[in-house]
Every structure is written in C-alpha cells, then in structure tokens.
C-alpha cells in the first residue's frame, strides 16, 4: 500500500550505520533531554542523523521526526513507529561495561535508535519503503505524535518501538482510561457533621474500586482484569473553600471499551466534576501475523527461541492499530521492568543484537510483501494469455 501524501525528493543511497556508530547515536539521544512536550532538540538530532544516512528527513506539524528510505510511491510501506519523549527524571548518562544508563535508554530511545540503525542497513526490494517515525508525547494521554500520522499513512506493516527484550515480540497491550476528579466545597469546621472534600474524594474512590471489583468477577490474570491506580491526590484550601483533586489511571482488558468503564464510573459520582481522557481500547494482534513471523524467524537465526508477549501497559499500538489494520507488533531492546525507574539502563550488546534481528526481519518481510504485491499482476497476465 502506498503513502497518502509524500514529499517529492530525489532518492539517495542509504549509508548503513556501523555498530560503533549505533552506540554513539543511542548515547547522544539519551544525553539529549526530551521530556514529553519538549522533544524538539532530540528530533533535530534524529533528523540530522537520518538525513546523513540517506533518508529523506522531515519534521511534521506535530513535531514528529520522520525519515523516509525508499521510493515515495512505493507499493509497500513498512512503518517503524517509536517515540522520542520520556518521563521526567534526571539519570546521569554513563556507560559501565556493557550497560548504558540514562533516562529513556529503555523507554524508548533504545528501540528508536534500533529502528534508525536497522532501517539504514536493510536491503529493500525496489517497490518497498521504510518510514521511521520518532513520535512526540507517547508518554502522555494525548499520544499527539501517533495521532498526527494515523491519517497520513496506510502501511502494509508496522513495528512499534517499545522494549520487549531482543528475543521477545509484543503482540498486545491493554487499553487505557484516565480520570480526573475535582471536588470543591465551602470550608467547615472539622468537628462538624459533614465530611471534607478529601473525605468525599476517598469515598468516591472506594465506590469506583467496588465497581472495578464487580467488573473483574470471573476474570483472572493481570492482562484480563481491570487495573486501577491513583496517580495523584491533592487537597488545597484558601481559608474559605477547600478542594480535593484525584487523578486515576485504569488499564483495560480486551473486550472492555473505555466508554463502558467511563459510564460505570460516572454512575457512582455524587458530587464534583469528572473529566476523562486517554481513551484507548486494548489491542491484540494475531500470533501468526506477518511481522511477528519474520521477527520470530530472525530471532531463531540468532539461535534463540522467540517469546510472544502481551503487556499490561499501553503504547502507540493502541492508537494506530485500529486505523491501519495491518500486521503490527512492538519490538525493541531492553527490560521493560526498568521503564520510568531511577535505575533505567540498557545492555549495549543486546541493543546491537536487536538491530541485527530487526534488519533481517525487515529484509524478509519486505521480500514477502513485494512477492505478494506481484502475484495479482502475474495472475492477471496469465489469465489474459490463457484467454487469447
């Protein structure tokens, strides 16, 4: 399938990134702060590197860094969609032996640097293009970067850049809903009969948890149950009025739409204001989809058994998969248990191994897509010859 809108630039040969250059690229990316909403500096770094490697590089209106390799009118587009932003937290960037420490090393600059490296190395058929996208604001409920590219492309296949470990392939993520609750009331003496705004917020949360427990009846396992967590709880007073605010996140299993949970929560709200955002349904790809197959084969080539995973978090897969409806998985180096932690670090040898795996997978996937694209034309030509 071809891209809906593409720049008209002359094709340039790719310049493959060496292992040493790949490590240097990742180190520079991790050294460049890019908290959600402030990704422009790391985007410029990526655009410069991709342009130097023969990609046609551009920044779109959302601030995404996009690198094109291959013909603009390619029959088949493979999208490698990673994200540039990180959560807050300064971790001194350093290399200790095989380990690179720093915020974003795992989530998810490691996977994104892997994408750029593998895309520069892969040998592609003439009718195939690879598009590397470094998206903004994946770590926020807005997912602004992914939403900006949903209508621009119609890929034949997609890989999402998230840590799965080099021998793991993530085929599914839970859904998400974020709730903001605000309760305000006139200040009253604590000895009075009425409760405080904080009391009401806590009481409301207890009702929400009771509803979650009801929804989880008959469900087992973290991936198949609703998870609820308070992200923020604050109280304030100006001496005349008081306010309590609560922000909570919900992880949703397959089969439970964000709107369904929202309606159930609203039914338990007696006072206050509610706002909901981050509506993302769970997504699980077929285990035998084309991208998973080729990544699994490339992992076996490295003499390891591939592991298919589902995750209790969300990713940009939840945003783009319902629209693109193409084979899609998430893949990238790193231990996701280190995401957002003060000890975030990545193994450089694993990072380079992941780049090798992805390079082989991209080449075999592109070959399969090219062959499939030619079959209808060949069949039509054969039918035409037989009718003569």
Give me the active site residues, please.
85, 138
**Cβ of 312: how many Cβ atoms within 10 Å?**
17
How far is 357 from 354, CA to CA, in rounded Å? 5
Sign of CA dihedral 276, 327, 113, 161: positive
SS3 label, residue 318: helix
What residues does 175 pair with on adjacent strands?
A: 252
- Interior angle at CA 206, CA 202 and CA 208, nearest 5: 115
Whose CA is closest to 170, among 301, 282, 304? 282
Whose CA is closest to 227, among 312, 311, 140? 312
Residue 93 DSSP one-character state: -
Whose CA is closest to 174, among 101, 253, 110, 106? 253
Whose CA is closest to 135, among 121, 120, 150? 150
What residues does 227 pair with on adjacent strands?
A: 251
Q: Contact 176/318 with Cβ under 8 angstroms? A: yes
Sign of CA dihedral 201, 206, 212, 214: negative
> Any residues with CB less than 8 A from the CB of 51 and at least 6 apart, and which?
57, 67
How far is 211 from 205, CA to CA, in rounded Å? 10
Going from the C-alpha of 373 to that of each of 2, 176, 289, the distances in angstroms are 12, 36, 17
């Amino acid at each position: 399938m071809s891209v809906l809108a593409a720049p008209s630039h002359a094709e340039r040969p790719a310049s493959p990134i060496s292992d040493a250059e790949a490590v240097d690229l990742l180190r520079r990316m991790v050294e460049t702060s890019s908290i959600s909403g402030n990704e422009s500096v790391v985007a410029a770094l990526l655009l410069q590197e991709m342009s130097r490697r023969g990609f046609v590089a551009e920044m779109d209106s959302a601030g995404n860094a996009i690198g094109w390799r291959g013909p603009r009118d390619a029959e088949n587009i493979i999208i490698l969609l990673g994200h540039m932003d990180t959560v807050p937290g300064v971790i001194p960037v350093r290399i200790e032996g095989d380990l690179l420490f720093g915020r974003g090393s795992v989530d998810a600059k490691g996977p994104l640097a892997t994408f750029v490296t593998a895309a520069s190395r892969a040998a592609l058929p003439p009718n195939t293009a690879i598009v590397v996208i470094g998206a903004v604001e994946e770590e926020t409920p807005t997912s602004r970067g992914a939403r900006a590219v949903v209508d621009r492309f119609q890929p034949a296949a997609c890989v999402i850049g998230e840590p799965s470990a080099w021998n793991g392939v993530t085929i599914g993520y839970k859904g998400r809903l974020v709730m903001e609750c605000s309760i305000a009331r006139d200040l009253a003496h604590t000895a009075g009969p009425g409760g405080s705004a904080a009391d009401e917020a806590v009481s409301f949360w207890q009702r929400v948890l009771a509803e979650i427990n009801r929804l989880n009846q008959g469900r087992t396992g973290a991936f198949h149950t609703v998870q609820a967590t308070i992200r923020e709880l604050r109280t304030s007073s100006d001496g005349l009025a008081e306010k309590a605010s609560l922000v909570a996140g919900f992880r949703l299993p397959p089969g439970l739409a964000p709107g369904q949970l929202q309606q159930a929560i609203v039914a338990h709200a007696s006072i206050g204001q509610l706002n909901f955002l981050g509506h993302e349904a769970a997504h699980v790809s077929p285990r035998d989809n084309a991208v998973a197959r080729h990544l699994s084969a490339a992992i076996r080539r490295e003499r390891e058994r591939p592991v298919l995973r589902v995750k209790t978090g969300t990713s940009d897969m939840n945003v783009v998969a319902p629209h693109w409806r193409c084979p899609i998985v998430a893949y990238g180096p790193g231990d996701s248990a280190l995401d957002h932690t003060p000890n975030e670090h990545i193994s450089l040898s694993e990072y380079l191994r992941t780049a090798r795996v992805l390079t082989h997978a991209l080449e075999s996937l592109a070959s399969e897509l090219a062959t499939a694209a030619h079959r209808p034309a060949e069949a039509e030509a054969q039918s035409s010859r037989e009718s003569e």
